[in-house]
C-alpha cells in the first residue's frame, strides 16, 4: 500500500508526498520547510520518514523550500545536473545527488523513474514512483503530452495530473497576450481538456485515483476542472490538490 498526498499544488508552491508507512519521498518542495513539516504533521505524516526529495525543474514554486528542508532533516535532494545548475543559489540543496532523465533511481524501498517532458525550463522532468508493483505519477508543468508522458502515465495506479487552466477562462481573462500564449503553448501547461483527453486515451486499466493538480488561481476553478473530468468519475476517484492546504490522503492498493 502507498499513501499519497499533495501538500501544496499550484503556482504558489508544489509538494507531493508518497510513502509506504515506513519510508517516504517528496516530489518538489515549492513551499517553505516549515510549511512542509506543519502540513505533514497536520495529516498525521511523520517528517522523519522522509528519505529524499526529487526536484522536477528550477522554477521557484518547485524548489523554494528544498535547501532548508534537506538540511533540517539531513536528507538528500535529487536534481538533473542541468536543473541544479539553473536553480537559484539560495535554493540549491547542499546534500545534492544527480539523476539522469530516463535512468531509474533506487531510494529506500522506492524506484523512481525520471523522464523528460515539455515545459519552459532547462531540463524539465516528471516522475513515476514504483513500490511493490504500485506506481504513482507526478505529472505537472507539461505543455503538451509527449511519448514519455503517455508511456509513463499508462503505467500508473494513481496520478497527480495537471489541470492547470480552463481554455475559455484563459483566453477571455486578464493575462496579457504573451502570457496567455505561453500558458497554452507546447512548453506551458495542460488544460482541463488536455488532461481529460490524456486520461481517456492512455490511463492504465488499474488507475484508481486522480488528483487534479497545479490549478491556476486566475484561469481555472475546481468546478471547471471537475466538470471537464465528469465523464471519468464512474471509473476513477477524482480529487482536488488544493493551492493552499494539503489534500486528503489516498491509499493506493493492489
Q: In this predicted structure, what is the pLDDT of residue 78?
A: 98
Summarised one tens digit per residue, pLDDT across range 153-208 is 999 999 999 999 999 999 999 999 999 999 999 999 999 999 999 999 999 999 99
What would the DSSP string read from start to end of 12-67? T--EEEEE-SS-EEEE---S-HHHHHHHHHHTT--GGGEEEEE---S-HHHHTTHH
Summarised one tens digit per residue, pLDDT across range 14-41 is 999 999 999 999 999 999 999 999 999 9
Does the pTM exceed 0.85?
A: yes
CB within 8 Å of 168: residues ≥ 6 apart: none
Cα–Cα separations (whole angstroms), residue 172 to 177, 188, 220, 235, 237: 10, 18, 12, 32, 31
Mean pLDDT, rounded, for 98-104: 98
Determine the 3-state secondary structure of 121 from DSSP: coil
Tally the residues of the chain. Answer: 254
Determine the 3-state secondary structure of 201 from DSSP: helix
More confident residue, 47 or 91: 47
Q: Are 5 and 42 in contact (CB under 8 A)?
A: no
For residue 117, give the nearest of 87, 86, 148, 138 by alpha carbon: 148
Burial 77-110 (b: 16+ CB within 10 A, else e): bbbbebbbebbeeebbbeebeebebeeebebbeb
Q: Do β-strands 110-116 and 105-107 pair in parallel, antiparallel, or remain unpaired?
A: antiparallel
Confidence of residue 88 (pLDDT cuts 50, 70, 90): confident
Q: Are 123 and 174 in contact (CB under 8 A)?
A: no
Domains plus CATH for the chain? 2-252 (3.60.15.10)
Mean pLDDT, rounded, for 44-73: 97
- Grid coordinates belonging to 123: 531540463
Summarised one tens digit per residue, pLDDT across range 4-13 is 999 999 999 9
pLDDT value at 71 more than 90: yes
Amino acid at each position: 500500500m502507498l499513501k499519497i498526498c499533495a501538500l501544496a499544488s499550484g503556482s504558489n508552491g508544489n509538494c507531493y508526498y508518497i510513502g509506504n508507512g515506513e519510508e517516504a519521498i517528496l516530489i518538489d518542495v515549492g513551499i517553505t520547510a516549515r510549511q512542509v513539516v506543519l502540513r505533514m504533521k497536520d495529516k498525521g505524516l511523520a517528517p522523519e520518514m522522509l528519505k529524499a526529495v526529487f526536484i522536477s525543474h528550477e522554477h521557484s514554486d518547485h524548489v523554494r523550500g528544498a535547501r532548508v528542508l534537506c538540511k533540517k532533516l539531513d536528507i538528500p535532494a535529487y536534481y538533473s545536473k542541468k536543473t541544479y545548475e539553473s536553480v537559484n543559489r539560495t535554493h540549491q540543496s547542499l546534500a545534492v545527488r544527480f539523476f539522469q532523465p530516463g535512468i531509474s533511481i533506487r531510494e529506500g524501498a522506492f524506484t523512481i523513474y525520471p523522464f523528460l517532458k515539455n515545459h519552459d525550463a532547462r531540463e524539465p522532468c516528471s516522475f513515476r514512483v514504483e513500490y511493490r508493483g504500485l506506481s504513482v505519477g507526478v505529472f505537472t508543468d507539461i505543455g503538451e503530452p509527449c511519448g514519455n508522458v503517455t508511456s509513463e502515465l499508462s503505467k500508473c495506479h494513481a496520478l497527480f495530473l495537471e489541470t492547470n487552466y480552463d481554455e475559455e477562462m484563459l483566453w477571455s481573462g486578464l493575462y496579457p497576450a504573451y502570457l496567455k500564449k505561453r500558458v497554452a503553448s507546447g512548453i506551458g501547461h495542460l488544460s482541463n481538456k488536455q488532461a481529460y483527453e490524456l486520461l481517456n486515451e492512455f490511463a492504465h486499466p488499474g488507475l484508481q485515483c486522480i488528483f487534479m493538480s497545479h490549478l491556476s488561481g486566475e484561469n481555472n476553478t475546481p468546478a471547471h476542472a471537475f466538470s471537464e473530468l465528469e465523464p471519468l468519475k464512474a471509473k476513477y476517484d477524482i480529487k482536488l490538490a488544493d493551492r493552499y492546504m494539503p489534500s486528503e490522503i489516498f491509499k493506493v492498493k493492489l
